[in-house]
């Protein structure tokens, strides 16, 4: 398993990286995001949304679990934190096998439902402006995505 890292030095730089990632994604792709509160998971999601042409405001779906956005491809933003200690399947496979891009925050709580091929991004808060993004691709497609992104 290969891991690649990129350090960003501003929220804008993180958004630009996420926009670049968005154009490399295809329908059915699943991105899992890890990081402490305030690390930048929603910022990264906003950048992917912008890269997909989503015009609606993107914010954390903490209380709704899943928010759907319309862009060039549908974007499914999931915050599954509240599903900890639950084995409830709220139709994940329909999203993961659908025509959109799924972004899952706190994915460890639904690990049994995740497809074997996905891209994990771990975001580490370094200081007020800087973040370290570690990309762990699972599957050939995501290895190519990460190679092109970091290239």
Q: Output 62 or 64, whichever has higher pLDDT.
A: 64
Q: With a cut of 50, say whether residue 2 has pLDDT above it.
A: no
List strand residue ranges (DSSP E) for the chain, in order: 4-8, 30-34, 66-69, 75-79, 101-105, 118-125, 131-138
Question: What band does 59 get if pLDDT is binned at 50, 70 and 90?
Answer: confident
Measure Cα distances from 22 to 11, 14, 41 in Å. Answer: 16, 12, 15
- The C-alpha atoms of residue 78 and residue 26 are separated, in whole angstroms, by 18
Across residues 129-143, what is the average pLDDT? 96
Going from the N-terminus, what domains does the chain have, and what CATH number goes with each? 4-146 (3.40.50.300)
């Amino acid at each position: 398993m290969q891991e690649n890292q990129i350090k960003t030095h501003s929220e804008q730089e993180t958004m630009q990286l996420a926009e670049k990632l968005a154009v490399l994604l295809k329908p059915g792709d699943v991105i899992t995001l890890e990081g402490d509160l305030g690390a930048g998971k929603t910022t990264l999601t906003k950048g992917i949304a912008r890269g997909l042409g989503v015009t609606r405001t993107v914010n954390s779906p903490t209380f709704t679990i899943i928010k759907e956005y319309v862009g060039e491809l549908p974007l499914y933003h999931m915050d599954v934190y509240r599903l900890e200690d639950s084995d409830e399947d709220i139709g994940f496979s329909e999203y993961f096998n659908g025509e959109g891009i799924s972004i899952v925050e706190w994915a460890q709580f639904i690990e049994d439902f995740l497809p074997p091929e996905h891209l994990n991004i771990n975001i580490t808060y370094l200081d007020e402006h800087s973040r370290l993004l570690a990309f762990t691709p699972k599957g050939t497609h995501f290895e190519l995505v990460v190679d092109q992104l970091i290239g």
